[in-house]
Structure 1
Amino acid sequence: MSALDRYQRFRFRRDGRILTAAIAAPGPVNAVDAVLHAELATLFTDLQHDPASDLIVLTGEGRTFSAGGDYAWFEQQVADPRKFRAIAHEARRIVTSLLDLEKPILCRLNGAAAGLGATVALLCDVIIADERAPIGDPHVKVGLVAGDGGTLIWPLLLGPARAKEYLLTGEMLTGAEAARIGLVNHAVPAEALDSKVAEIAAKILANPRWAVRWTKTVANQPLKALAAQMMDSALAHEMLSNLAADRAEAVRALIEKRAPRFSGE
């Protein structure tokens, strides 16, 4: 039995030495719930140790990649902050294990990616997006610090000023806009997504395995050093923001499908 057989929130497909991992959470938007969060914390280590693959494609089942967190899970974390505290180690491992993965990983951004979904997408080596796919980090809109990797990767890709504009407003971009400003590598029409992914995968796999893996390892060293410097503080501030009154109001407003009434507390 493969380690990948135990996953509930992913579907795996193989094409030669390419392994596709598709997020397959309940509901239409592949929202991050407790199970998916826990699985993301182990996925990249298990992919590293998968003997039958040399390149990973990360995508979403259906029409989305992963459009943020599950509202019911948010509500549980507000009601019992210990549940939020308990997943801090998972949040750290999602980022560090993705950066530790030696195999090249391509993101096939087939639809909306928000919050942690966007972070995971942007930490991949090459991101190929549907030109109409929305991508953004709206943590602030739900009353949270973007502590699970957004404050790490957005400034690296865009520069501090432009990244802070998107992180502080929570604004979403289209795939085409994201490619134009350098947030993702390529944006193509939906019907061309698979061919573009296959094209880049073939170019990478045409090169010697260990030259590819260890080039990536060296290129990721500055990201790993920055993650080690930032992640504990980022997660601590995110946990603090989960205690705020405006966080609880943001979650209630989402569930009740109304505009939030923030107090500043």
Structure 2
Amino acid sequence: MKYDDYKALRIEQDGSILTITVNRPEAKNAINHDLHREFSLIFDDVDRDESVDVVILAGSGGAFCAGGDLKWLLTLHGDPVATSAGIRQDRKIQNSLLDLEKPIIAKVDGPAIGLGCSLALYCDFVYASEHSVFADPHVSVGLVAGDGGAVMWPQLIGYARARRYLLTGDAISAPDAAAMGLITESVPADALDETVAKMAKRLAKGATHSIKWTKASINAGLKVTANAVIDRAAAFENVTQLLDDHRIALEAFQNKEKPKFTGR
């Protein structure tokens, strides 16, 4: 498998370990059109790559992924054709992550926000530096959490805690996220690379078919839940992308102001 067509994602392979790095450091790896499209394709390509047994997902430049790029989101606002195309890609991203049998390790250094947070939480292991933060602030920009948060947060930390964070958009520090079971482990920043590499090598040297099919068995139940949630959450998110409150929030954040929502 060749990955030469990927630009927003940097793909590197060491033996049977493939590292996918979000490569927009100038924008804290925020999701734009190109990056969103590549994420909708990459996990299916990895699934077909017989040379890969383990995947590491990382960010560049001191951030994992800062969520949706505000400029890109503004270009989508009010355009039902464009927003529905984006929602369709969201569903492809989520389903391809759940379908991928090869274990995925998220290496989080810095903010993991919105879709960036969902990408991390869909991984099988999430290791984060102690200064990292996790948040799904869709409601803060007038959107429904339709790209995975409504699926993963309740499964990982329970419905009461999930509501607490999804309905407010509040952030969680990596140590707190680890303590409540949202992520696997919070480690000192200077130990992150070694921690992730150690687990990746351990999995790559293990009984790879047994590991893959155990993951597939675990995900079988999760996929049932996801199928019940994804389409509804995505549909609601698509609707909110057309509302005034979403535009108001995007413009306010661009101007470094607090949004004044109208409920429309």
SS in 2 for 1:127: strand
The Cα offsets for residues 139-188 of structure 1, whole Å up to 9 and x where unpaired, read as 00000000111100000000001011000110011111110111000100
Moved more, 242-251 or 132-141: 242-251
Residue identity in the other structure for 2:84: R
SS in 1 for 2:127: strand
- Counterpart CA distance in 1 for 2:207 and 2:256 is 52
Alpha-carbon contact 2:126-2:184 (below 8 Å) kept: yes
Residue identity in the other structure for 1:180: A
- Residues 26 and 132 (structure 1), Cα distance of their counterparts in 2 relative to 1, 3 Å cut: closer
Identity %: 41
TM-score (norm 1): 0.96
- Counterpart CA distance in 2 for 1:220 and 1:192 is 29
Alpha-carbon contact 1:28-1:62 (below 8 Å) kept: no
Alpha-carbon contact 2:55-2:105 (below 8 Å) kept: yes
- Counterpart CA distance in 2 for 1:189 and 1:148 is 29
SS in 1 for 2:170: coil
SS in 2 for 1:21: strand
State the match for 2:172 in structure 1: 173
State the match for 1:89 in structure 2: 88
- Residues 26 and 191 (structure 1), Cα distance of their counterparts in 2 relative to 1, 3 Å cut: closer
SS in 2 for 1:220: helix
Matches within 5 A, 1:140-159: 140-159=139-158
State the match for 1:11 in structure 2: 10
State the match for 1:251 in structure 2: 250
Matches within 5 A, 1:1-265: 2-25=1-24, 27-265=26-264
SS in 2 for 1:58: strand
Residue identity in the other structure for 1:201: A
- Superposition deviation, residue 82 in structure 1: 2.4
- Which 4+ stretches in 1 moved above 3 angstroms? none
Unaligned runs of 5+ in 2: none
Alpha-carbon contact 2:109-2:131 (below 8 Å) kept: no
- Superposition deviation, residue 51 in structure 1: 2.5
- Superposition deviation, residue 40 in structure 1: 0.7
- Counterpart CA distance in 2 for 1:200 and 1:3 is 25
Alpha-carbon contact 1:3-1:46 (below 8 Å) kept: no
Alpha-carbon contact 2:25-2:61 (below 8 Å) kept: no
The Cα offsets for residues 41-91 of structure 1, whole Å up to 9 and x where unpaired, read as 111011111232210000011110101111111111114232111222211
- Counterpart CA distance in 2 for 1:60 and 1:7 is 15
Unaligned runs of 5+ in 1: none
The Cα offsets for residues 214-242 of structure 1, whole Å up to 9 and x where unpaired, read as 11111100111111111111111001111
SS in 1 for 2:4: helix
Residue identity in the other structure for 1:87: G
Alpha-carbon contact 1:32-1:70 (below 8 Å) kept: yes
- RMSD (Å) for aligned C-alpha atoms: 1.2
- Number of equivalenced pairs: 264
Residue identity in the other structure for 1:133: S
- Counterpart CA distance in 2 for 1:238 and 1:28 is 23
- Counterpart CA distance in 1 for 2:3 and 2:163 is 37
Alpha-carbon contact 2:20-2:56 (below 8 Å) kept: yes
- Counterpart CA distance in 2 for 1:181 and 1:228 is 25
- Superposition deviation, residue 26 in structure 1: 5.8
SS in 1 for 2:246: helix
TM-score (norm 2): 0.97
